[in-house]
Amino acid sequence: MSVVGRPRDSPWLVDAPRPPAWGVLLVMLAAAATTLVIYPLREIAPEVSPGVVYLLAVLLVAVYWGLAYGLLTSLVSAGAFNFFHIPPTGRLMIADSAHWVALGVFLVAAVVASAVADLARTRAAEAERRRGEADLAADTARVLLGGATLADALPEAGRLVGAALGLPDAEIVLDPAAESVRPQGVVLDLGAGREAVLVLGAGTGDEAVRARIRERVAPALEALLRAALERDRLQAEVVETQALRRSDVIKTALLRAVSHDLRTPLTAIITAGHAVRSPVLEGGERDELGLVVVEEAQRLAALVDKLLDLSRLQAGAAEPRRDWCSLEEVVRTAAGDVCPDDEARFALSFDPGLPLVQADAAQLERVFVNLLENARRYSGGHPVKVRARVVGGKMSIRVIDRGPGMTPAQLARAFEPFYRDAASDTHPGSGLGLAIVRGFVEANGGRVRAESLPGHGTVFAIELPLAEERAPATTAERSS
């Protein structure tokens, strides 16, 4: 058994208060009990020799209560031994001089035993403290350095330190704004002008406790906090570098996109403009050229819309203006925009009694214009299916095409702006559509993901939250 056998998570830093009255009572009890135990022993042993039993009491008291009480037990035991067991009993007198020697030897032995026991007790307590400190340092390191950021880890670290110190209200405050927290705690210097305060909580005005914390806990805690700050700084740098690199990539891609996607329709328009003035036009060619100009100008306009959507999203200016809106209306409008002449290209199906959603209708329309355009482009003439229903308390819309599908690698990057699969893309897309889809869906609190089976087609699944208060169901029960 450990000499100071206290549970690991009990406060080890500060000794529990021990009222002296209890100590004196314990000493008396120990001496009395020993005295009683010796009576039966006297029947079988020479009168003085059972005095050794008192040593046991001295040892136990010294081990648990310290040197002072051990010495007190020695004295009281000597007195009791003399009074009750050394003849003449009942009086503090010693008749036989040999008994004087025995009592003297007993006292010396008791004092030495007290001192040795106390030394062991102190060492064990110190070892226990060090173990506690090491445990605390390891636990705090795990919390401070293992977490995402220092700010996230601080409450847990404060709780750990508090539990170890027996201060349930303890917390660590980084860069305290108010001067008022400083006197209540221990200031930790984190270097570079930053500091933290270990606030000890209520009822700890004890300067000894603070000194002990400053000496034993603060240095390790300071080192850990510094390391965590440094880790945060490095992480921020990495994130910043990545963001810069990413924005560089986006800028380059934007340049390429603008360069290619704007120039191509412009070239067609300019060429058609020159061609239409040719005196040698054959039948129908004039109409054809007129159509080229209109179609290519529409393509330019659509691209400009997309670039505007995307720049709004990237500038964070796409704050949705939410209102009740009917998904069926939104999807039908989008389908009409994408394919004004031929709505049969889309097979739209809406569950009866579909609730309204709280969202920005204009942004949702852009989502579906982009998704339907995309699906139609890849579906190889098959109709594109759209199915809307409520699943698991959320509005779920699936856009299903029977195109060539996407490989996992393509899927992983499908929502990145300007991502086009260079090798297989024979379709004129800007590479912006899906980035816009994701941007607007997420701005409206929803999620979008893509699933694909190469060779069989692709499903884009959108989930939109339904409002807490149920919206009136749409009356529409059509499905086409």
**Binding stretches for another protein (CB under 8 A):** 255-256, 259-260, 263-275, 278-281, 285, 288-289, 292, 295-296, 425-426, 428
Is the Cβ of residue 234 or residue 266 nearer to another protein in the bound state? 266
Contact 379, 402 (CB under 8 A): yes
* CA distances, 67 to each of 104, 114, 255 (Å): 19, 6, 84
Q: Which is nearer to another protein, 194 or 274 (CB)?
A: 274
DSSP 289-338: HHHHHHHHHHHHHHHHHHHHHHHHHHTT------EEE-HHHHHHHHHHHH
Instruction: Convert 202-217 to b/e letters by CB count within 10 Å (16 or more is b).
Output: eebeeeebbebbeebb
3-class DSSP state for residue 86?
coil
Closer to another protein by CB, 275 or 466: give it: 275
CB of 417 to another protein, least distance (A): 18
The residues, any chain, with a CB within 8 Å of residue 104's CB and separated by 6 or more, are none
Between strands 346-350 and 384-391, the pairing is parallel
Closer residue to another protein in complex, CB, 18/260: 260
Report the C-alpha gap between 345 and 331 in whole angstroms: 13
Q: How far is the CB of 257 from another protein (least distance, A)?
A: 10
Q: Say if residues 52 and 110 touch (Cβ distance below 8 Å).
A: no
Nearer to another protein, 292 or 357 (CB): 292
Work out the burial of residue 64: count CB atoms within 10 Å of its CB; fewer than 13 is exposed, 13-18 middle, 19 or more buried. Answer: middle
Residue by residue, DSSP assigns 34-82 as HHHHHHHHHTTS-SSGGGHHHHHHHHHHHHHH-HHHHHHHHHHHHHHII
Report the nearest approach of another protein to the CB of residue 418 (Å). 13
Length of the chain: 480
Give the strand pairing for 357-359 and 323-325.
antiparallel
CB of 144 to another protein, least distance (A): 49
> Residues 355, 475: contact at Cβ < 8 Å?
no
Of 130 and 256, CB closest to another protein: 256
- Give the integer Cα–Cα distance in Å for 44 and 389: 96
Q: How far is the CB of 273 from another protein (least distance, A)?
A: 8
Q: In the bound complex, what is the minimum distance in angstroms from residue 430's beta carbon to another protein?
A: 13
Least Cβ distance, residue 321 to another protein (angstroms): 37
What is the C-alpha to C-alpha distance for residues 288 and 275, in angstroms, rounded to an integer? 11
Please report how close the Cβ of residue 397 comes to another protein at its closest, in angstroms. 31
Q: Which residue lies nearer to another protein by CB, 243 or 294?
A: 294
In whole angstroms, the minimum distance from the beta carbon of 252 to another protein comes to 10
Q: Which is nearer to another protein, 19 or 284 (CB)?
A: 284
Query: Cβ of residue 404: shortest distance to another protein, in angstroms?
Result: 14
CB of 294 to another protein, least distance (A): 10
Cα atoms found within 13 Å of the Cα of residue 331, Cβ hemisphere only: 25
- Minimum CB distance to another protein, residue 249 (Å): 15
Q: Decide whether 87 or 380 has the Cβ nearer to another protein.
A: 380
Q: Are 53 and 41 in contact (CB under 8 A)?
A: yes
Report the phi/psi class of residue 353: left, alpha or beta, with left for phi > 0 and alpha for psi in -120 to 50: left
Of 294 and 308, which CB lies nearer to another protein in the complex structure? 294
Q: Which token pair is 106?
A: 């007993």
User: CA dihedral defined by 346, 350, 356, 361, rounded to 10 degrees?
Assistant: 0
> Least distance from C-beta 250 to another protein, angstroms?
16
Q: Which is nearer to another protein, 43 or 282 (CB)?
A: 282
Report d(CA 349, CA 21) in Å as an integer. 86
Q: State which residue, 133 or 288, has the beta carbon closest to another protein.
A: 288
Of 89 and 267, nearer to another protein (C-beta) is 267
